[in-house]
Structure 1
């Protein structure tokens, strides 16, 4: 995967994305991600890889300072159309090279983005960099199950699925291990598909 290809594939995905990834199982999963999250008034929240804005409808955003970024112009356009009468700031931006100062946000939300970007470690590093001290990162994504190896069928499918714009072979523990001295996992739970999709909350 690379940024150029991701722009192409998510241009294709954009008209149907919500029908697949914001309905049924995925909608229920997204609801579970945010059901116990309590944002405080005026907190600064960054949505990394906001896509069509599927997560935005699940939070009360009228008293928050929300910034939402995505590399795909077409996906971002869908989100902007949904929330054109809000104070949300939408920016076309690479999650692996964010144009924000260090420690800019109280919360960072990354839904189905680490498994999409070409370099998940760079994206995760950037999330950490722009997060304030004592801030939290909320992750909803698919990872290899803990203490398991990628199955042979998934190994065979992985290159083809990457062409569709996502990676089924990412291990969260490998990302976290590089930064665990500065971070703390406060929640890590299975959300769907027997632990393949997880909700992870990290405190800096």
Structure 2
């Protein structure tokens, strides 16, 4: 449906939760890493321009160093545009909360920092590769930092900042990407559009 639509933006969140089959089974996720890999390959073959994001939990009860390393390898392999990360926290009434092999908070926080640093590097590399690309951009807000900057999102949901007067809010413009940073793009307006 997305591949045939000109009104649905190609941005897909496909939660991975863990790169370890053992942890995925403990979480009752219902898929293996190989099945997940095939889904990613299918999406990328049908929608090569799609932004692909995911959710990842570190420190699930019973997560070993090896399980955690598998999650890091999965991030390197799949190279997501964005990863929503969280350290596991117990939820009352769940099987995981009753497990005795809870991961210490300091270990969970260290893993979370490492995952976020890895994803920051990957996102920066992806965004830098977009320099010179041209996208339609709906200017939807003032940039949180920087006077004279408005922000919008590309069709694949990448935050992009451009120099533009406030009167242009709500307009769609053609933008050439001039710089890619870890968490956003910068661009210049080529055509004001509607």
The alignment's TM-score, normalised by the length of structure 1, stands at: 0.31
Q: Considering only CA atoms, is the larger Rg found in Structure 1 or Structure 2?
A: 2
- Structure with more relative contact order (C-alpha pairs < 8 Å, separation 6 or more): 1
The alignment's TM-score, normalised by the length of structure 2, stands at: 0.32
